[in-house]
């Protein structure tokens, strides 16, 4: 069988890892698919000195490589939702070439269009590496669990946030301090906004939603909150209440449509997702025939992500093809999203109040008026006339009722800071 000719656009962390894997495991990969995987072109702004690329044609412009080089598979590892990354992918698909990418932002924003282009050309558009790094969750949802009607898929999809929250719990330090450490260690970018504000997780969740429920990828309909407001006090309080705080992406089928939300959650300490620490990712899928299945592993980095990139290349080399999102692109349904105000669940509330007689009665009245039932309250010490932190949890209630109750509580004169909410998930 002829060699499979591979062109790689982008030679950063993941691109370098992919080149290394293709070289190091060349014999193993060839044995598994019955043909040689041959790197025939690379593109980057500069040729990395640490990669063995002397015999490989090199392009300083990835667009030129995508248009002119002779390849079977283009691997896009540049990043970004549009611009040069989208240009090289559409060029390759337009030439009838297979494409493999680790670019979750591009898939989240343009997945439908790219899937249609791939299917029209009769080629593969693979993106296993776009979600959860080396964890084969795309293949699991699209193929391994295809016989199931899934009720929900959720997980820890950003290792940076999980590292920050884990370290805050283990050290008692505040968010800003731990973020600075994560940046120094290379776990967080110089501009960490996409990670800590939940955007990266939302990109990945929108892809999982499509695979799990057969819907068009619709990033614009994800409810997104980040972890900037989570304090060391919240994490200590969560432990006392039997929870850990995780940034989760959750897609869930409901009577009102599909929930698609990203935000910090309190989860039981002993739950499968509550035990996932550090930079690790985890995805849980629940289906009618398999029940609950957990996938856990490294969600980023050169070697795990390169492993996922090459897994897609191997499928192409072996002639294994499935529809991009599990169904033909034209068969994907519009996403009927459940309104966030219809979400029902329990909540944790952190308040800072002046310790004066009657303040708790006013807070209780605000909850009562919106039909929100208090479950527990924590106040560690009294300081008459001074500000004190107060923690409450409430039983399952509608999001809109909780929102109105918080507005009422905010208007109480003795409440000196805006209340902070964290949703509780009883996984």
If 0-12 CB within 10 Å is exposed, 13-18 middle and 19+ buried, where does residue 61 land? middle
First to last CA, the chain: 49
Place of tokens 């072996």: 318
The CA distance from 258 to 247, in Å, is: 19
The CA distance from 273 to 271, in Å, is: 5
Q: Dihedral of CA 226/232/237/240: which sign? A: positive
C-beta neighbour count of 271 within 10 angstroms: 16
Judged by phi (left if over 0) then psi (alpha if -120 to 50, else beta), residue 366 lies in alpha
Catalytic residue among 104, 139, 204, 246: 204
Contact 270, 280 (CB under 8 A): no
Whether 5 sits among the annotated catalytic residues: the reply is no
Contact 138, 205 (CB under 8 A): no
For the annotated catalytic residues, the residue numbers are: 204
């Amino acid at each position: 069988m002829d060699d499979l000719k591979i062109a790689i656009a982008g030679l950063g962390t993941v691109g370098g890892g992919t080149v290394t894997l293709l070289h190091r495991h060349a014999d193993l990969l060839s044995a598994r698919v019955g043909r040689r995987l041959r790197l025939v072109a690379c593109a980057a702004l500069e040729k990395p000195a640490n990669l063995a690329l002397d015999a490989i044609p090199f392009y300083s412009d990835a667009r030129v490589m995508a248009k002119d080089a002779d390849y079977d598979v283009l691997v896009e590892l540049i990043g970004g939702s549009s611009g040069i990354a989208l240009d090289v992918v559409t060029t390759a698909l337009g030439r009838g070439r297979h494409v493999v990418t680790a670019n979750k932002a591009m898939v989240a924003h343009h997945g439908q269009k790219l899937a249609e282009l791939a299917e029209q050309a009769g080629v593969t558009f693979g993106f296993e590496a776009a979600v959860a790094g080396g964890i084969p969750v795309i293949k699991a949802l699209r193929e391994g669990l295809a016989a199931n009607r899934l009720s929900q898929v959720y997980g820890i999809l950003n290792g940076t946030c999980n590292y920050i929250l884990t370290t805050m719990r283990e050290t008692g330090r505040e968010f800003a301090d731990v973020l600075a450490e994560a940046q120094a260690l290379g776990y967080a970018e110089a501009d960490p906004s996409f990670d800590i504000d939940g955007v990266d997780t939302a990109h990945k969740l929108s892809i999982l939603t499509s695979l799990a429920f057969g819907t068009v990828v619709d990033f614009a309909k994800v409810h997104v909150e980040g972890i900037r407001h989570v304090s060391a006090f919240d994490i200590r309080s969560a432990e006392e209440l039997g929870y850990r705080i995780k940034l989760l992406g959750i897609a869930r089928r409901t009577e009102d449509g599909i929930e698609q939300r990203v935000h910090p959650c309190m989860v039981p300490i002993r739950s499968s997702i509550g035990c996932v620490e550090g930079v690790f990712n985890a995805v849980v899928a629940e289906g009618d025939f398999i029940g609950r299945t957990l996938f856990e592993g490294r969600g980023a980095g050169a070697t795990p992500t390169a492993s996922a990139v090459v897994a897609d290349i191997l499928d192409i080399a072996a002639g294994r093809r499935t529809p991009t999102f599990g169904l033909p692109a034209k068969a994907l349904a519009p996403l009927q999203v459940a309104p966030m105000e219809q979400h029902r669940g329990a909540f944790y509330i952190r308040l800072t109040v002046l310790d004066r007689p009657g303040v708790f009665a006013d807070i209780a009245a605000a909850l009562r008026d919106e039909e929100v039932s208090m479950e527990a309250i924590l106040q560690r010490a009294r300081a008459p006339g001074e500000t004190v932190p107060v923690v409450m949890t409430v039983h399952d209630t509608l999001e809109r009722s909780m929102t109105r109750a918080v507005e009422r509580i905010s208007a109480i004169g003795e409440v000196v800071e805006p209340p902070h909410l964290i949703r509780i998930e009883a996984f």
